[in-house]
Amino acid sequence: MINWDSIDTVMLDMDGTLLDLHFDNHFWLDHLPQRYAQIHNIDLVAAREKLSGEIRQYEGTLQWYCLEFWSSALDLDIRSLKEEIKHKIQIRPYVGEFLTRLRKLGKKVLLVTNAHPQSLSLKLEVTQIDQWLDVIISSHQFNEPKESQKFWQQLQAAEHFDPTRTLFIDDTARILDSAKIFGIHYVLGIHQPDSQIQRRMEQHPAIYHFDEIMPPRNDENSAHG
């Protein structure tokens, strides 16, 4: 599926791509409504309705991903509430081997995420995936989400990558659309970002796990040389 000789730079989303999206879905759909209901002393059904209505209207914007915004809007410490269930933060299958092989092949590996720095720091602390990454970019650094062309323009200015020799992997179709519009030649989706929910991505070429596109080990290259 992928000719690794034609790729210099690999950009990877975090939640739903390198990490199981189950943590985030469980947090926003279950844990947060329960804790919001407890803290604000309201009915759970009412809490769910209020939260889903408020959160949905910001989807795809920088605020949607901003923990400080939601902490203020909901009068809660979102980072602390996430820490309560941090045991659910999990790396997706084959990630360590995939990233290790990319590094050994000399590819530049970037984490490119919409996650807020508070969420990012918690996940790096738990998973230590940063050991395999060259660069970590949160869209909050640029004040633009990955859905925006301005994000990609600023990323290009900061990292000087060649879009025609770049692979970008993300679990969200609208973000892959944005990368494609910018000119990133290789875009790849994730079929089932949440291990607990069946889903197929139809809008872009996609994989379930990284073993489907595992780069060869250096010794495999030389053996076929």
Domain regions of the chain by residue span: 4-21+90-223, 23-87
Assess whether pLDDT exceeds 60 at residue 59: yes
Residue 173 has pLDDT above 60, yes or no: yes
The CA–CA distances, whole Å, from 140 to 5, 35, 213 equal: 32, 26, 30
Q: Is the per-residue pLDDT at 1 higher than 90?
A: no
Query: What distance in Å separates the CA atoms of residue 22 and residue 13, rounded to the nearest whole number?
Result: 15
Spell out the CATH class of 4-21+90-223.
alpha beta
Q: What is the mean pLDDT of the chain?
A: 94
Distance CA 92, CA 194 (A): 9
Concatenating the DSSP letter of every residue in 70-123 gives HHHHHTS-HHHHHHTTGGG--BPTTHHHHHHHHHHTT-EEEEEE---HHHHHHH
Q: Give pTM, 2 decimals.
A: 0.93
Report the C-alpha gap between 114 and 146 in whole angstroms: 7
Q: What is the DSSP letter of 200?
A: -
Q: What is the pLDDT of residue 86?
A: 97
What pLDDT sits at residue 224? 43
How would you list the strands of the sheet with 166-169, edge to edge? 135-138, 108-113, 9-12, 166-169, 186-190, 206-207
Each residue's pLDDT tens digit, 127-143: 999 999 999 999 999 99
Yes or no: say if 61 and 174 are a contact pair by the CB < 8 Å rule: no
